Structure 1
Amino acid sequence: MSEEQFTNISLAVCLTGLVVFIGFIIWDLGKKSGAGKFGTAVLFLVLGLGVGGFIFKNVLVEFFILK
């Protein structure tokens, strides 16, 4: 396995783990603050958009670099 392959695999695995962990943090924040169902949904929407934007940016960069 080359260094490039290892880097690509570990980046995908670690970023996936980070996104899942951020989801857990948002859920825990909603639970501990007593936000209820609607408040937790708003937390996921607002804070999740930041994560979604980061992922979307990386996808766009990959498409523009490959073409």
Structure 2
Amino acid sequence: MITDEMLTTYALPVLLSGLMLYMGFIVYRLGMDSNAGKWGMFVLFIGLMVGVLGFGLKYVIKYYMEASLN
């Protein structure tokens, strides 16, 4: 049986990662459809994908904090 804790621990990061990949595809299509060019595509990805970086860094920080406490 799947508990709420198991769902949060395992499924949430996997499903959110898939959602972030889809968001990256949307940003790419937005840049291509608007003929943004290299600089415009760079700005789109930097501006709209900063949250993805924060999501990934959360797990890195969590890992190092748990390692330092043990």
Q: TM-score, normalised by structure 2?
A: 0.68
SS of 2:22 mapped into structure 1 = helix
How many residue pairs match? The answer is 66
- CA 1:58–1:19 in 2, change beyond 3 Å: closer, same or farther? same
Runs of 4+ in 1 over 6 A off after TM superposition: 61-64
Partner residue, 2:21: 20
Structure 1: gaps of 5 or more residues: none
User: Offset at 1:62?
Assistant: 7.5
Structure 2: gaps of 5 or more residues: none
- Partner Cα separation in structure 2 for residue 8 and residue 40 of structure 1: 34
RMSD: 2.1
- Partner Cα separation in structure 2 for residue 9 and residue 51 of structure 1: 18
SS of 1:34 mapped into structure 2 = coil
User: Offset at 1:2?
Assistant: 4.0
- Partner Cα separation in structure 1 for residue 55 and residue 10 of structure 2: 18
Which range is displaced more, 47-56 or 24-33?
47-56
Partner residue, 1:43: 44
Which amino acid is 1:15 matched to? L
User: Offset at 1:60?
Assistant: 4.7
Q: TM-score, normalised by structure 1?
A: 0.70
- Partner Cα separation in structure 2 for residue 26 and residue 48 of structure 1: 9
